[in-house]
Structure 1
Amino acid sequence: MATSTPIGGFKPLTGHCTCKTLTYELVAAPLIVHCCHCTWCQRETGSAFVLNAAIESTNFILTSPFPDSHILITTPSSSGQGQTIARCSKCFVAVYSYYAGAGSAVTFVRVGTLSEKDGSKDRVRPDVHIFTSSKMGWVDLSGEVERGAKVYEEYYVREEVWSPESLERRRVLAEKIEKEKGKEKREGDGSGLVES
């Protein structure tokens, strides 16, 4: 079980599956919260849309034992790259996922799994509605537009939607990933080894 250290005084968001076997904390605010209305998300959730909070995986802390609490399932996606969905090993609720395009550096947490008891669920709202060209006809987004959420028929340009703070966090994460890749390459070809 991991321990968490909240970032900058942020009060962690907590969450769990239905049976509370799979539990977690977010120790920083999400980078972005997507409400996706694509037909793939509709089918995978059996609902009108999915609500995902994207966060650096280092800020997503599992508080239940891994892998005992999980099953990981890889499914296709409309991009063709697929996604890996983490489900509770007992109640099978989808709690989070990794999209192939983002790798495991970013975790997409299902907002519906946030806790009601500590108010976590009330602290997270969509920043953007995406793929609304395939939204259910009865879904009215006018209140979301009034609230300030962005709405796109397809996807969006990150710099037009993400906050400056989230863009900076993403930049730092991208640099870290590039350093890791460089380190792995050097170690893989032996150039990173120092003889003593």
Structure 2
Amino acid sequence: VLKGAPAPVTIPSHSGKGQEFYRCPDCQIALWSHYAGMGAKVCFIRVGTLDNPDLLAPDIHIFTSTKQPWVNLEGCAPVVAEYYSKKDFWPPASLERWRALEE
């Protein structure tokens, strides 16, 4: 963001709780978001908005049921059609940090 402040926009989510996106005031690209369940405790940054996005490869590809047929995700991180269960994909240390945030 070169000028102004990111603007929050709440959109519906699969959980029904909504998700708050913060967008660039100029181009409206999503920069980061907060899921309603955790609020501002957890920030999901859009890696493509970083100066060096190649430093952060994805851990998982989600909502791939809507990807274009020419997008090939084979041999990459796990691929799931919709959302996923953290307990099925996250390492124990990450799950423990998440539990600590829930308290």
TM-based fold match above 0.5:
yes
Residue by residue over 1:155-191, the C-alpha shift from the partner in whole angstroms, topping out at 9 and shown as x without a partner, is 222122112221121122122xxxxxxxxxxxxxxxx
Structure 1 residue aligned with 2:37: 101
Structure 1 residue ranges, 4+ long, deviating more than 4 angstroms after superposition: none
C-alpha change, 1:75 and 1:155, in structure 2 (3 Å) is: closer
- Where structure 1 has 5 or more consecutive residues not aligned to the other structure, the ranges are 1-16, 22-67, 176-196
Tell me, in whole angstroms, the C-alpha distance in 1 between the residues paired with 2:74 and 2:89: 18
Amino acid at match of 1:157: S
Distance in 1 between the 2:9 and 2:27 partners? 14
Equivalent pair of 1:98/1:107 in contact (CA under 8 Å): yes
Number of the residue aligned with 1:89: 25
State yes or no: 1:154 paired with 2:82: yes
Matches of 1:76 and 1:171, distance apart in 2: 24
CA deviation vs aligned residue, 1:59-94 (integer Å, no higher than 9, x gap): xxxxxxxxx522111222343322211122334332
Greater relative contact order, per chain length (Cα 8 Å cut-off, separation 6+) = 1
Structure 2 residue runs without a partner (length 5+) = none
Call closer, same or farther: CA 1:127–1:94 in 2, change over 3 Å: same
Offset of 1:153 from its aligned partner?
Answer: 2.1
Q: CA deviation at 1:109?
A: 0.7
Q: Based on CA coordinates, which of the two structures has the bigger radius of gyration?
A: 1
Paired residue total: 103
After TM superposition, the score normalised by the length of structure 1 is 0.46
In the other structure, the counterpart of 2:92 is 164
Asked whether the 8 Å contact 2:38–2:102 carries over to 1, the reply is no
